[in-house]
Amino acid sequence: MIAHGVGGRQDLPIPFSLAVAGAAAALVVSFLVLRMAWRQPRFRGDQSGRPLPLAVSRAADSSWTRWALRLLGLVAAAYVTWGAVAGPDLATNPTAGVVYVLLWIGIVPLSLLFGPFWRLVNPLRTLHLLLCRAIRLDPAVGMRTLPAGVGLWPAAAGLAAFTWLELVAPDRATLPVIRAWFAMFVAVMLLGAVVFGSRWFDHADPFEAYSSLVARLSWLGRRSDGRLVARNPLENLDGAPVRPGLTATVAVLLGSTMFDSASASPWWDRWVQESGAPATLAGTVGLLAAVSVVYLTFTFAVRWVAALAGSDRRGLSELFAHSVVPIVVGYVIAHYLTLFVLEGQRTLVLLSDPLGTGANWLGTAELTENRWIAGQPTLVASIQVGAIVVGHVLGIVAAHDRAVRLFPLARPDCQLPLLVVMVFYTVGGLLLLFAA
């Protein structure tokens, strides 16, 4: 419901026939994968890919490029912070649009195109690096070592905190609320980095975690030997590092998007009103419930798969959690495509005048927004259904390959519970698009 902070119109519900067609397609493909797909693992993760020319690899990895990107991140963050601190708290302030549209939604297309870009531009990483340089410390070395089991759990918590700000927090489109959230966020990130070293960002920064996960569906990857390669996104996804907390991270990403679309619907309104609960409490419970449903259904399904395959390995859900990433990306495209196009343009226009003085510092103030997409509800509905179904297909293919690798001797039907859960996510996504 960020639409209330930054957006105006919302997309029309998708036609029922399209929702049914999408669900049917998802079911058929699931069945085909289960019955006919390969029995030997195909994906080779980070060993795969066709190397880009060495010059490209070297240029991308040169310290000039790295510092240029860091500087870009710092300057952009400083510019936006300036508008957030010194600008007027009006709807013409670009801060909410930058945070909720350009950053949060923009992470997805940019990571698909350029890989895990946020860790290269992350202004907090750069601040920490500069701080360490200034006092001649190695940024990688902190005061303590991060415990081994921490994995992505801090990032999952950070993502939950951000989605709470985006979808639930009272007055979430106003500057004091955004400032307060980011002040706490910056404090936690920098303190963590001082204690645990720059590695903290890999484990705890929600935007890095999001960007790095989505980047696993990019055409661009890095081979085990360090070379930049062009590769099949499914091979890329297969190389996603298995870490504790990965399931929780993807559950937050998928569950929060589900909650966003559910809470924008009239029936959510009615339910909140009948329960008599304060909206913030209802929203918090709803968000937690959506995330918990995804987490519990997924871990339960994986446990069931393991039981059918005769395995008693622990922590198996983290080995399958990468397969939810395409479903997350499908949901994001379906729910935010038009918002991103329309509000993204509006934010670019507003960015030229962060202080509300009539300035045109970036030269974007006079741009005319292209609102063509708002007049194409049929095309938008088709893209929405297509994105959800394609995400589903990529998800089950990724999970299938992982299953035949982990359980080479088991019957292929052992994946049935996981397929059922993914069909549930897909049909749920289509229902939300139909009913919202």
Q: What is the binding site for other proteins (CB under 8 A)?
A: 1, 4-5, 7-13, 88-92, 170-174, 177, 263, 266, 269-273, 275, 277-280, 282-283, 346, 349, 369, 371, 374-375, 377
Which is closer to other proteins, CB of 232 or CB of 364? 364
Place of tokens 């419970």: 285
Which is closer to other proteins, CB of 145 or CB of 370? 370
Specify the 3-state DSSP secondary structure of 320. helix
Phi, psi of 16 (to 5 degrees): -60, -40
Q: Which amino acid appears at position 265 of this protein?
A: S
Q: Which amino acid appears at position 107 of this protein?
A: I
Phi, psi of 222 (to 5 degrees): -125, 125
Minimum distance, C-beta of residue 341 to other proteins, in the bound complex (Å): 13
Q: Is 323 within 8 Å of 399 (Cβ atoms)?
A: yes
Which is closer to other proteins, CB of 284 or CB of 311? 284
Minimum distance, C-beta of residue 349 to other proteins, in the bound complex (Å): 7
Minimum distance, C-beta of residue 381 to other proteins, in the bound complex (Å): 10
Q: Is 272 within 8 Å of 80 (Cβ atoms)?
A: no
Which is closer to other proteins, CB of 22 or CB of 283? 283
Minimum distance, C-beta of residue 366 to other proteins, in the bound complex (Å): 11
Minimum distance, C-beta of residue 409 to other proteins, in the bound complex (Å): 52
Which is closer to other proteins, CB of 224 or CB of 273? 273
Q: Which amino acid appears at position 237 of this protein?
A: L
Specify the 3-state DSSP secondary structure of 9. coil
Helices 153-167, 279-308: inter-axial angle, 10-degree rounding: 140
Minimum distance, C-beta of residue 345 to other proteins, in the bound complex (Å): 8
Which is closer to other proteins, CB of 4 or CB of 66? 4
Which is closer to other proteins, CB of 120 or CB of 350? 350
Which is closer to other proteins, CB of 261 or CB of 415? 261
What is the C-alpha separation between 82 and 300, in angstroms, rounded? 46
Minimum distance, C-beta of residue 159 to other proteins, in the bound complex (Å): 21
- 299 to 34, 143, 305, 331, 352: CA distances (angstroms): 20, 35, 10, 20, 46
Minimum distance, C-beta of residue 361 to other proteins, in the bound complex (Å): 18
Specify the 3-state DSSP secondary structure of 170. coil
Which is closer to other proteins, CB of 15 or CB of 51? 15
Q: Is 345 within 8 Å of 370 (Cβ atoms)?
A: yes
What is the C-alpha separation between 29 and 325, in angstroms, rounded? 18
Q: Side-chain half-sphere of 50: how many Cα atoms within 13 Å?
A: 3
Helices 246-263, 279-308: inter-axial angle, 10-degree rounding: 130
Minimum distance, C-beta of residue 364 to other proteins, in the bound complex (Å): 12
